[in-house]
Amino acid sequence: MSELDAVLSHIDSHVDAALERLFNVLRIKSVSTDPAFAADCRACAEWHAADLTSIGFDASSRDTPGHPIVVAHDRSGEGPSALFYGHYDVQPVDPLNLWDHDPFAPFLETRTDGTRAIRGRGASDDKGQVMTFVEACRAWKAVTGKLPIPVSILIEGEEESGGANLPPFLKANADELRADIGLICDTSMWNAQTPAITTMLRGLCGEEIVITGPDRDLHSGFYGSAAVNPNHVLARILADLRDADGRITIPGFYDGVPELPEKLRAQWETLHFDPAAFLGAVGLSVPAGERGRGALEMIWSRPTCEINGMGGGYQDAGFKTVIPSQASAKISFRLVFDQDPHAIRAAFREFVRARIPADCKVEFTEHGAGRAIRFPIEASAFEKTRNALSAEWGRDAVFIGGGGSIPVTHELKSALGMDVILAGFALDDDRIHSPNEKYDLKSFHHGIRSWARVLHDLAA
């Protein structure tokens, strides 16, 4: 039996113990956004530091101006080094009445089809995913006494509440944390049978605008048509953001957006994505967005402009005939390839100002900015990881894009100069951030085995 086979066998025979350790950490109420749970966040960080120390890592919980960050090193292996990133904090559980059980009393559910799932807040995002990697390291240490490659682990406690303290922590500790490759397990499978590596993530630019006209709400019978209505002004501006073909009309918006590389397009076509089923699952049937673009292309490799919220005037029960003093909207841009979020912000503001009547004024509030990121699928570490995942799941792992944003990937790239492999085992129905969060037992078990294989193949 090879070393890898022995490690995989050890994992299989110790799944129950691994599950109980996961339950222990799921019981900790590490809600980072609520100060009432600060002690729980610290307890969770200390739990991880103690657990990693118990398997031979040099681990500690380090203070920040917010919640602690766990750092651990095991340099017993040889070859290229890796830094694994995860987070121990979780989303609030509200609304509690929509949970079928106590969010912090995890249990293993057997479903009607015989499959089993881990239930509890953080089961998938991100405690279950973090522990797949830790348990893979535990198995290698138990069987061989060392890891295949040098490994560092960083587990933060503010990912769900903005992560403001991570960038300065990375910069201050760059020499200690720098590695040859970054590993993140905070993403999903392509489907329940097919593993995936996410190689593209979109950037983000958020803006809030408030348009003010009259100095107070006006009676529409007395002032209608004679006085400017901020709702009309706002509606016109928002309508102007796209043309009839769905293209975004802000000047310079598509600067830095090339056509999708043919090699990547061809790989995506093998995924047999069904846009009708994708839209049908949320009660829709007619594709929107840019005319002539496929849904998968628009989600992963095209930029967006979305109105996330808007309001002005009376919106409570009944009716009130007013011309509002103010109208507002929250708008987000998902960015791709080399789009500059700061240039997008400046162009958007100029676009709005050009449409503001003389009798109105506009105020802007910035809500974050981050560039898109993509990683080289031709790099050997990506191909080795793909081979390892394919061997474990019995299906070729696929390279996919991500419609959302994971800011830490850009932080690791910019602060530490590392490419990052995003390989996670969550499923689309895990209900992350929602009541009744779950993580399939298969995802947990085979996730551990997958990381054991990845560590082995990265050492080759």
In this prediction, residue 377 carries a pLDDT of 83
How far is 51 from 369, CA to CA, in rounded Å?
Answer: 36
In this prediction, residue 425 carries a pLDDT of 98
Q: Copy the structure tokens of residue 440.
A: 């399939």
Contact 454, 385 (CB under 8 A): yes
In DSSP notation, 286-331 reads: S--SSTT--HHHHHHHS---EEEEEE-S--SSS---EE-SEEEEEE
- Determine the straight-line distance between the first and last CA of the chain, rounded to whole angstroms: 18
User: Which residues are CB-contacts of 74 (< 8 A; sequence separation ≥ 6)?
Assistant: 56, 57, 58, 137, 141, 146, 147, 150, 151, 152
List of domains in the chain: 3-201+373-458 (3.40.630.10), 203-257+303-370 (3.30.70.360)
pLDDT tens digits, residue range 361-377? 999 999 988 889 988 88
How far is 260 from 237, CA to CA, in rounded Å?
Answer: 30
In this prediction, residue 281 carries a pLDDT of 86
pTM: 0.86
From first to last of its 460 residues, the chain has per-residue pLDDT tens of 899 999 999 999 999 999 999 999 999 999 999 999 999 999 999 999 999 999 999 999 999 999 999 999 999 999 999 999 999 999 999 999 999 999 999 999 999 999 999 999 999 999 999 999 999 999 999 999 999 999 999 999 999 998 999 999 999 999 999 999 999 999 999 999 999 999 999 999 999 999 999 999 999 999 999 999 999 999 999 999 999 999 999 999 999 999 988 888 888 888 989 999 999 988 999 989 999 998 999 999 999 999 999 999 999 999 999 999 999 999 999 999 999 999 999 999 999 999 999 999 999 999 988 889 988 888 999 999 999 999 999 999 999 998 888 888 989 998 999 999 999 999 999 999 999 999 999 999 999 999 999 999 999 8
Contact 229, 360 (CB under 8 A): no
Residue 452 class from Cβ within 10 Å (0-12 exposed, 13-18 middle, 19+ buried)? buried
In this prediction, residue 219 carries a pLDDT of 97
Least Cα distance to 326 among 406, 230, 429 occurs for: 230
Q: Copy the structure tokens of residue 90.
A: 């979780």
